[in-house]
Chain A
Amino acid sequence: MTTTTAQEHLPSLRRRLAAVGLALTIAVLAALVAMTISGASTHALIEASREETLPRILERQRATANLERLIRFGWVAATANAPNDWRQASITAQALAFHPSLTFDEDLRNQVMAVHGTIRQVVAQRERAYALRAQADAAPRMAELDKIARDLWMPQESILVNLQGRLADDATRLMIERFDRLSAISDLTRRSGIAVGVFILLILAAAALIIRSNLLIPVLRVAQSMRNTLDGATQAQPLPHPATAEMAVMQDAAMQLRDALHRASLREFALSASEQRLSSIFATSEAAIVLSDSLGQVMQANDAFLRLIGADEALDLHMRTLTHADDRLRESLLQEPMINGQVNRYRLDKRFVRHDGSCIWVDASVRAIRNGNNPPHQFVTVAIDISERVRAEQDLRFIRALVDQSADPIYCMDPHDGGRMVWVNAATCRHFGKSAAELMAMRIPDWDPNFNSITAETLWNTPELHNTRILETTHRAAGGDIIAVEVSASWLEHDGRSYIAGYIRDIRDRNRMLAAVRRSNEDLQQFAYVASHDLQEPLRMVASFLQLLERRYGERLDAAGREYIQFAVDGAIRMKQLIEDLLAYSRIDSRGMQPKSVDLTKIIQAACDNLVSAFADSGGRISYPPDLPHIMGDETQLVRLLQNLIGNALKYRAADRFPEITVSAHRQADTWIISIQDNGIGISPEYHDRIFMIFQRLHGIGAYEGTGIGLAICKRIVERHGGEIWVQSQENTGSTFNFTVSAVDTEPHQ
């Protein structure tokens, strides 16, 4: 609309060219008129010359020639001897003198008449002289008369010659006048021609300028633009502002053509890209794609399809034979409405029979290709291997059956809905004495009387930190009894939502057994304590009296007797040591302190202070980094732990070298791994577990001091702190004892 309005305001090229053409036509017509007038004038002048001047010039030429003859006749009349000659000359001269060729001009006529009269006089003198011929002595008179005749004639020649000259001058003048007029007309014609030519050139120049600016250059630019468009230039060259409405139309058409070509190019490019994409997708798709005709004959199949069915090529494949016999009926029922035009696609899970005879489950999506409302002439089948899914579904059904068959109640609840049950197994229904539907409407407070906001807070938050939490609580079980249960709570993510799932275990029997065990342990611990404490007294008595017996009666005993007493004393002492160690071992749990943050460096220093004499005796050295961490634990027990490990390193040193002990710490998640490395005798790998058992010794009594309970105590201390202890060693290559302990920012495991 804007373009049309703009075009309406532009001048019309047709009008401009028409104006130029009109001007040129006028100029050409003017030139033609001028040339016609000039030609007519020239023609008229030529005709006039032909009709007037030329006859007049010819008249004068003839007159000149006749005057010449008149001169001759006069001369003959005056000088001829024979009378017939001068008489004939006289007669002819008269005929000539009065001939029209010598009478067109009055002056000429008069002078010729005068000459003719003179000729008549000359002839008269000649006749008189001739008449005297018979007379005697007439010769002189005859000669005189002849002389008179000649004298009469002689001046006439000059008159006639002058007349000839005047006629020649007249002819020349006539010719000059005529040529002057011709020259004037020619000059006028030439000037007119030049003027008209200049005028036409000016008009042609103006026309050329108008055509150049209004037609040629715009057309060339449009042509260039179209060439650029055809050459595929992406950046279109802007066209100048159109000078005329026609050029505006042409430019608009060119722009539309360029846009159309550009759009077509884009469409072609998009189509090509789409074809390439489709071809690429078809070729590289992991989904099996197959194109079949209306009879099910495979026309084209991609590699994924060939891999799916285990074929090398798509020749002689038929969709019906590829489909498992048990699935054909289901698919036929789906195909029928599609062939009837009721639907254009269907989807089913079915089995393909592979070339090796095996079956593979696929999710087949079939789409019909048809022309208008005609029956489909082709089908596109996209098949996705769902073997894994089918297998997973089968496994799921199996697991579900297992879960449903489990004797333990298993549940899943929604923590964001007040702990509402979302799934339960049959055991859970039996546990609560409710149906699954009833349980789906129940929330935790409906079956757990201990559940409150604090519990809920703990429940909702804890799984996020520890993934799985096992807690003990009470349930209102079937029949209304409140029973103790152990509940596992695991945080699950499914379909973008968080769930808590786990099992419920009736722990009433276990609690009863645990209570019995706990009482038994307490009794046993009390027994061990009492036994070890009470055993020390008689043992001290035995040892004291044995030592007293040796001092008083030693001299009376022989060497064997003193040796026996010495054995008994050593045994008592060793037994006392065993009892003390056993007592210490039993006190690890009973006398332990609450864990707190302790400086590992101070722990090591305290342990080393207790081992000063051992360091001095062994010549050993210990090294540890200055930035050892703080750890959580019972300081006393940790000192004992380090003291036992460092002491073992000093004790089980190699004979050929001084002990070199290195303590280091490495952070792993929320724990520290503390390592005590030595260069001692090492431990063969088959003893790595045995050395942590109580009273287990790898060497005979006497080889090394000790009761064999040190590493058992270490293990018990570490386990009490929720950690682990292990050894890395080879015989004669030194040992590295490692244990884990909670970092300061982490609560120790309960």
Chain B
Amino acid sequence: MIRAILSLCLIIGLAAPSARAQDVVIGITTTAQPFIITDPSGRLDGFNVELAKLLCQRMARRCSLEPTTFPLLLAGIEEGTFQIGIGNTLKTAERENKMLFSAPIWRSTSSFVGAAGMAVVDPSQARAQHPVCVVRKSIQETFLAEQPGPAENLMAVSTFRELFDRLTAGTCRLALLPTVSVLEFLSRNQGRGFDYIGPPLRDPRLSGTVHIVVTKGRPEVLEALDAAISTILRDGSYRPLIARYFPFDIL
């Protein structure tokens, strides 16, 4: 009997490596707070980081988070460097050709941000009238690129930090950003004197559901990811996470 139990344990022990969680590399953008927070020691934290950990736990996979910029995130997903990309990505037809989109994780709009008291700007005239900063390869860049105006008025940067620096420095008078992503900036001293300029843009391309992207060659990862999203939505673990980082329900 004891010998049989030992044999069973041995078999289980040998089989354990194959049953271990597969490693998944998650690319995560160093965007604005509260989506990601980097403490002085370099440790990552924030909504997207906790969400990534929560999903990995539900998927029973060991994940490694790789901080990156939004343009590199999209490139890494396309190339397969990252199996999963968390960068508050809106779904577009062009992107759907290059990557897989998970179930929506929250919804977003896009707003102009500028100095408080600034007159409301017509989106179609914004580039023509003002230098506007956007994140490179973002929907906002695509939108503004389609609008008339001098090319130098469309200022694309890689990170939100860089964008907010340029905005506060006066390099660009406006920034077109996801509305929720600006909240933390507006609440900081750096953002004092800045405000939303007018209501969010009503162009459907600039608002909608935000997704996690998956490299196209790993549909099973997408399947597991969607299952994990469904699980956290049902088991009540997602809403507390939102409430911890946002002042309202962003779903």
Contact = CB atoms under 8 A, between A and B. Distances in A.
Interface of A: 62, 65-66, 69-70, 73, 84, 88, 91-92, 94-96, 98-101, 113
Contacts of A84: 187
A252 B152 CA distance: 110
Contacts of B247: 69, 73, 92, 96
B249 A98 contact: no
Given A91-B195, A98-B199, A100-B107, A65 B249 contact: yes
B88 to A, nearest CB: 14
Centre residue among B179, B200, B247, B251 by max chain A CB count within 10 A: B247
Nearest to A65: B249
Interface in B196-218: 196, 199-200, 207-208
Contacts of B159: none
Interface string B89-111: 00000000000000000011101
A interface: dominant SS: helix
Contacts of A73: 247
Given A99-B109, A99-B179, A66 B249 contact: yes
A94 B197 CA distance: 10
Nearest to A96: B248
B183 interface: yes
A98 B109 contact: yes
Interface in B144-186: 179-180, 182-183, 186
Nearest to B251: A62
Contact of B207 (A70, A92, A100): A100
Contact of A95 (B179, B207, B208, B251): B179
Q: Which 10 A-B pairs have the closest CB atoms?
A: A100-B107, A98-B200, A69-B248, A96-B248, A91-B186, A92-B247, A62-B249, A66-B248, A88-B187, A95-B179
Contacts of B251: 62, 101
Given A65-B249, A98-B200, A88 B186 contact: yes
A92 B183 contact: yes
B interface: dominant SS: mixed
A73 B187 CA distance: 14
Nearest to A116: B199
B238 to A, nearest CB: 12
B11 to A, nearest CB: 42
Contacts, number: 56
Interface residues of B, number: 21
A183 B47 CA distance: 42
A489 B45 CA distance: 165
A379 B243 CA distance: 120
Given A98-B111, A101-B107, A91 B248 contact: no
Nearest to A124: B117
A294 to B, nearest CB: 75
Contacts of A66: 248-249
A91 B179 contact: no
B109 A100 contact: yes
Nearest to B209: A100
A95 B183 contact: yes
B114 to A, nearest CB: 13
Given A91-B195, A113-B199, A99 B250 contact: yes
Given A98-B109, A100-B207, A91 B196 contact: yes
B151 to A, nearest CB: 29
Nearest to B247: A92
A73 B186 CA distance: 15
Centre residue among B107, B199, B249 by max chain A CB count within 10 A: B249
A91 B183 contact: yes
16 contacts: A62-B251, A65-B248, A70-B248, A73-B247, A84-B187, A92-B248, A94-B195, A98-B109, A99-B107, A99-B109, A100-B108, A100-B208, A101-B107, A101-B249, A101-B250, A113-B199
A95 B180 contact: yes
B176 to A, nearest CB: 14
